[in-house]
């Protein structure tokens, strides 16, 4: 029997970013005991890196804003493929979640009359992003950690133990979920420092593990984002949706090579920065797609006036949704009008006084000064697309965040549906708060409803341990594969063949490569012991990276249209027939012995949008996305 440290909780939250922490707070406030597990240090998550802000229609800067406008913007951004119920809950609940953070102690930037300040961002009709300079995620995490500490102090007062109800397990990686008769029974993992195994026995697990960016070579994501939650859910029997939609943020650093991909916040454009090509032309005016015609300024003069008078001018096309801007940059570079290092220019230096740039964008100022020796108050930045976010994730019920596996919940970037084919900037931080809370509630209600808790079988623990240890004892002698080599090959293939512009033959090549890596992965071999062994950690993560890459590539091949974060060179148009179709990934074989089970992709129709929500849009706009049949019930059509 495997030697393993055992813990029992009501709920285990995997991930300590915004979604995970908000779920922990909610479950604890319902009186449940919660473990929060994270593979890096507590406080080090993508959420902490979020710069621009958190979208919520508080209407502090423009009173025209409300949940309906936010809902419309989100659906447009996602090209109407979003789970509309999630988009509705998100738009309605985001303001309350931001105000609630203030009650936890968050200190947002203020307007002159003392309200929470809100900034412009791509695709948002009004200034909507509550922010703290360009370090908003840091404040979110700081505040929620502070709230957790205050709850632990209450627990100490009541039980004499700070960790009576909430305990943090940092630098601890979960490698497998354990089920009994199809229901969640626990989670298995290892301590990164000692390599020792740990088992959580719990009837409910909330996955909040973030994204998959490390499957691509150029990315804004850091080392942890290997799609673990996505793969854990698949292996436990849950389904992933929308995996073909990967967001390439238009502005990542392109130079020097060591920092390629690091994010340049959209806040630069929100605060007045403009994109230019090597001919000094503000090229975004040439790239407003038909679906957005009339909604964006068509002259530089109008675009510039919009920054100070948004009610009487249309917004700059520099702030089109990210998918549009990323494709435009790609086209400019391809046409030979790029910057010296293969990007384009982002100019804020000629638009704002130096002091204002340093005050509004302190992190960007330091990032460029220290990493690229560029003073952004004096010269333009060089920027280009970088893999940033995955719209695809675990299919969940919008109201409870439950997956199709009883006891398994998901929230934040690892869940799918909310953002459709493309996420608007700022909508992730609000998503984490809204659905993190709902996942905490959903998991609590589930646990409270149980008559009997599932038990963890010893055999399940043994097989999870065997799988985790397999890189120390590969099956074939003399055929040793290095995990770092396989990771580099996978990242290169995904970047080159399933990147920002895709076509069938290249995706097929990528699938060929993924198939080859799946065979070679069985012979991945690591040296040394289980004590802090990064090669072993990567070997374990690599299985997850390959699984999610296969989902992305297979779904990308199947979706024969271009929409949001999925651009097919061979099918360049939006196709109304595809609008309500989801591609659902699952594994046919959930045997935990299978290192990397095969992925199948099936087409599933979405529930039609509720009529009162449909009526928030003009018929003329919907006609750009929907089939004629779908709109037959629209009141404007009936007249």
What are the residues binding ligand FAD (CB under 6 A)?
14-20, 37-40, 45-47, 49-53, 136-137, 173-174, 208-210, 220-221, 224, 228, 263, 389, 412-414, 425-429, 432
Shortest CB 37 distance to ligand FAD, Å: 5
Nearest to ligand FAD of 19, 297 (CB atom): 19
Shortest CB 235 distance to ligand FAD, Å: 12
Tokens encoding 59: 């209407």
CB distance 528 to 543 below 8 Å: no
Shortest CB 531 distance to ligand FAD, Å: 18
Shortest CB 174 distance to ligand FAD, Å: 4
User: Which is nearest to 551 in space by CA: 582, 579, 574?
Assistant: 582
Cα 91 from Cα 424, distance rounded (Å): 12
Catalytic residue, candidates 28, 97, 128, 322: 322
Q: Which residue is nearest to ligand FAD (CB)?
A: 17
User: Which is nearest to 147 in space by CA: 13, 313, 298, 18?
Assistant: 18
Shortest CB 367 distance to ligand FAD, Å: 10
Nearest to ligand FAD of 221, 549 (CB atom): 221
Other Cβ atoms within 10 Å of 297 Cβ, number: 21
Other Cβ atoms within 10 Å of 336 Cβ, number: 8
Nearest to ligand FAD of 14, 614 (CB atom): 14
Maximal C-alpha separation, the chain: 75
Handedness of CA 594, 595, 600, 604 (dihedral sign): positive
Shortest CB 424 distance to ligand FAD, Å: 8
Report the b/e string of 611-633 with b at 16+ CB within 10 A: eebbeebeeebbbbbbeeebbee
Other Cβ atoms within 10 Å of 213 Cβ, number: 27
Nearest to ligand FAD of 233, 414 (CB atom): 414
Nearest to ligand FAD of 40, 295 (CB atom): 40
Instruction: Determine the angle formed by the axes of helices 84-104 and 427-449, rounding to 10 degrees.
Output: 90
Shortest CB 464 distance to ligand FAD, Å: 13
> In angstroms, what CA-CA distances link 49 with 231, 264, 429, 622?
23, 11, 11, 36
CB distance 555 to 568 below 8 Å: no
Phi first, then psi, for residue 57 (nearest 5°) are -85, 65
Nearest to ligand FAD of 495, 562 (CB atom): 495
Alpha helices in 105-197 (DSSP H): 136-159
Strand 240-241 with 34-38, pairing = unpaired
Nearest to ligand FAD of 195, 601 (CB atom): 195
Shortest CB 426 distance to ligand FAD, Å: 5
Q: Residue 382: beta bridge partners?
A: 345
Query: Quick one: CA torsion of 557, 590, 452, 6, rounded to 10 degrees?
Result: -110
Nearest to ligand FAD of 210, 407 (CB atom): 210
322 is annotated as an active-site residue: yes
Residue 373's region, left for phi above 0, alpha for psi from -120 to 50, else beta, is left
Shortest CB 405 distance to ligand FAD, Å: 17
CB distance 510 to 492 below 8 Å: no
Nearest to ligand FAD of 283, 389 (CB atom): 389
Phi first, then psi, for residue 398 (nearest 5°) are -60, -40
CB distance 90 to 68 below 8 Å: no
Active site residues: 322
């Amino acid at each position: 029997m495997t030697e393993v440290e055992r813990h029992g909780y009501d709920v285990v939250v995997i991930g300590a970013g915004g979604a995970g922490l908000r779920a922990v707070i909610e479950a604890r406030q319902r009186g449940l005991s919660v473990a929060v597990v994270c593979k890096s240090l507590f406080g080090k998550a993508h959420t902490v890196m979020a710069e621009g802000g958190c979208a919520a229609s508080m209407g502090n800067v423009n009173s025209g804003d409300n949940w309906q406008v936010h809902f419309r913007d989100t659906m447009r951004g996602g090209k109407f493929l979003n789970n509309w119920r999630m988009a509705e809950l998100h738009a309605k609940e985001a303001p309350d979640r931001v105000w609630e953070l203030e009650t936890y102690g968050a200190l947002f930037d203020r307007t002159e009359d003392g309200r929470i300040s809100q900034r412009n961002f791509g695709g948002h009709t009004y200034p909507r992003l509550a922010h703290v300079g360009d370090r908003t995620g840091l404040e979110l995490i700081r505040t929620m950690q502070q709230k957790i500490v205050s709850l632990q102090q209450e627990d100490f007062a009541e039980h004499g133990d700070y960790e009576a109800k909430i305990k943090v397990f940092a630098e601890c990686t979960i490698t497998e979920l354990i089920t009994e008769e199809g229901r969640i029974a626990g989670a298995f993992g290892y301590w990164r420092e000692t390599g020792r195994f740990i088992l959580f026995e719990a009837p409910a697990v909330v996955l909040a593990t973030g994204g998959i960016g490390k499957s691509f070579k150029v990315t804004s994501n850091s080392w942890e984002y290997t799609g673990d939650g996505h793969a854990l859910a698949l292996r436990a029997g849950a389904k992933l949706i929308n995996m073909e939609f990967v967001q390439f943020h238009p502005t990542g650093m392109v130079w020097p090579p060591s920092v390629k991909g690091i994010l340049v916040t959209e806040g630069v454009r929100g605060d007045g920065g403009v994109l230019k090509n090597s001919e000094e032309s503000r090229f975004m005016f040439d790239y407003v797609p038909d679906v957005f015609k009339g909604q964006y300024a068509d002259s530089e003069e109008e675009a510039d006036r919009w920054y100070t008078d948004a009610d009487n001018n249309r917004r700059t096309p520099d702030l089109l949704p990210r998918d549009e801007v990323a494709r435009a940059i790609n086209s400019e570079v391809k046409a030979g009008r790029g910057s010296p290092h293969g990007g384009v220019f982002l100019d804020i230096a000629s638009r704002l006084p130096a002091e204002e740039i340093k005050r509004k964008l302190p992190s960007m100022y330091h990032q460029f000064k220290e990493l690229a020796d560029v003073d952004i108050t004096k010269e333009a930045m060089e920027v280009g697309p970088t893999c940033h976010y995955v719209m695809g994730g675990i299919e969940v019920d919008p109201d409870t965040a439950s997956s199709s596996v009883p006891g398994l919940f998901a929230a934040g970037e690892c869940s799918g549906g909310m953002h459709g084919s493309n996420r608007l900037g700022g909508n992730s931080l609000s998503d984490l708060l809204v659905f993190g809370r709902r996942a905490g509630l959903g998991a609590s209600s589930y646990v409270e409803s149980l008559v009997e808790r599932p038990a963890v079988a010893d055999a399940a623990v043994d097989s999870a341990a065997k799988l985790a240890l397999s890189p120390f004892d590969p099956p074939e002698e003399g055929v040793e594969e290095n995990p770092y080599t396989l990771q580099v090959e996978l990242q290169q293939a995904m970047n080159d063949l399933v990147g920002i512009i895709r076509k069938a033959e290249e995706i097929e090549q990528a699938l060929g490569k993924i198939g080859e890596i799946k065979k070679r992965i069985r012979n991945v071999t690591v040296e040394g012991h289980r004590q802090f062994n990064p090669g072993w950690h990567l070997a374990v993560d690599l299985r997850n990276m390959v699984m999610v890459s296969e989902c992305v590539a297979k779904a990308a091949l199947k979706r024969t249209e271009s929409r949001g974060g999925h651009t097919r060179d061979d099918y360049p148009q939006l196709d109304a027939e595809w609008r309500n179709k989801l591609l659902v990934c699952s594994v046919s074989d959930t045997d935990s012995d299978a290192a990397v089970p095969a992925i199948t992709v099936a087409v599933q129709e979405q529930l039609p949008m509720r009529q009162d929500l449909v009526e928030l849009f003009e018929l003329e706009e919907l006609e750009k996305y929907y089939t004629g049949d779908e709109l037959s019930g629209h009141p404007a059509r009936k007249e």
